[in-house]
Amino acid sequence: MTTQVIRSEWTKIRSVASTVWTLSLAAVVTIALGMLVSALARQQFDNMGEQDRLSFDATYISFAGMGLGQLAMIVFGVLVVTNEYSTGMIRTSLAAVPRRGSLLASKVAVATVLALVVGMVTSFAAFFLGQALLGSLSTSIGEEGVLRAVIGGGLYMALIAMFSMGIAVMLRSPMLSLGILMPFFFLISNILGAVQATKKFGRFLPDQAGSHIMQVVTPVGDDTPYGPWGGLGIMALWVIAALAGGYLLLRKRDA
């Protein structure tokens, strides 16, 4: 990874349209859906059961759009990588930067910084707008654990993008990568995490573990064996594994 290659990757990422639309979609969906759910929660709070009221997490409610918004982040991560393969640009890129580790590291670094900036802005915006709509139910950024959760929301989005990049380097095809990642994060992971039989395993999946960072109130009866940072750490391990796998394949394969 050199400053030269980082500059080059920055030029690449800022000069394609997919960067702008995937990242703006991630922000808009996360914020708008969070606002909608916050507004609904305020209306429905009085109809909630005792347990739900005790578990009510004003911070987490404002991040309700994250589940859908992360899909746009996945598309961003996948396209950053597979754009090179689907166009054949990868050969031109590797002829210019034959040290493959350097090319991959620079590409991931640039895309991650961008995803992190967008993720942070999104997370803070989702939080403040969500709280505004929650009215009397709202919490404030100064309460214990809230700032951690909001910053964690930004980190979560960046990690999702990184994980997607690792998977995309391994699979190379945009359709295959999206076809695996989207249903996995939108459906399968949630089902595995909710069904009693698979819950023990499901909560170690990257998104299930990572999203704990956005929780402030521990739900009643929750027996998760890791804390918010522990969960994010588990997600980070998944990211490292995906990127390491991608790197090893990239190094070994013919371009």
Partner 1 sequence: MIELEGLTKRYGEKLAVDNLTFTVRPGTVTGFLGPNGAGKSTTMRMILGLDHPTAGNVRVDGRRYQELKDPLTYMGALLDAKAVHGGRSAYNHLLCLAQSNGIPDRRVHEVLDTVGLTPVARKKAKGFSLGMSQRLGIAAALLGDPRILMFDEPVNGLDPEGIHWIRGLMKSLAAQGRTVFVSSHLMSEMALTADHLVVIGQGRLLADTSMADFIERNSRCYVRIRTPERERLLDVLSTAGITAVEQDGGLLEVEDGEAERIGELAARHRVVLHELSSRQSSLEEAFMQLTAGSVEYHAHTGQAERAGQAGQTGQAGQAEPAAAPVQPAVADMKKES
Contact 157, 122 (CB under 8 A): yes
Identify which range of 82-90, 195-203, 220-228, 229-237 contacts partner 1 by CB under 8 A. Answer: 82-90
CB of 205 to partner 1, least distance (A): 33
CB of 255 to partner 1, least distance (A): 4
| 107: contact with partner 1 by CB under 8 A | no
Amino acid, res. 177: S
Name which position in 22, 38, 70, 83 contacts partner 1 (CB under 8 A): 83
| 5: contact with partner 1 by CB under 8 A | yes
Name which position in 51, 87, 140, 173 contacts partner 1 (CB under 8 A): 87
SS3 sequence of the chain: CCHHHHHHHHHHHHCCHHHHHHHHHHHHHHHHHHHHHHHHHHHHHHHCCHHHHHCCCHHHHHCCCHHHHHHHHHHHHHHHHHHHHHHCHHHHHHHHCCCHHHHHHHHHHHHHHHHHHHHHHHHHHHHHHHHHHHHHHCCCCCCCCHHHHHHHHHHHHHHHHHHHHHHHHHHCCHHHHHHHHHHHHHHHHHHHHHCHHHHHHHCCCHHHHHHHHHCCCCCCCCCCCCCHHHHHHHHHHHHHHHHHHHHHHHHHCCC
| 17: contact with partner 1 by CB under 8 A | yes
Name which position in 96, 117, 132, 240 contacts partner 1 (CB under 8 A): 96
| 173: contact with partner 1 by CB under 8 A | no
Name which position in 44, 51, 92, 140 contacts partner 1 (CB under 8 A): 92
Identify which range of 90-98, 146-154, 198-206, 239-247 contacts partner 1 by CB under 8 A. Answer: 90-98
| 113: contact with partner 1 by CB under 8 A | no
| 200: contact with partner 1 by CB under 8 A | no
| 8: contact with partner 1 by CB under 8 A | yes
CB of 27 to partner 1, least distance (A): 21
Provide the binding-site residues for partner 1, judged by CB under 8 A.
4-5, 7-9, 11-12, 15-18, 83-84, 87-89, 91-99, 252, 254-255
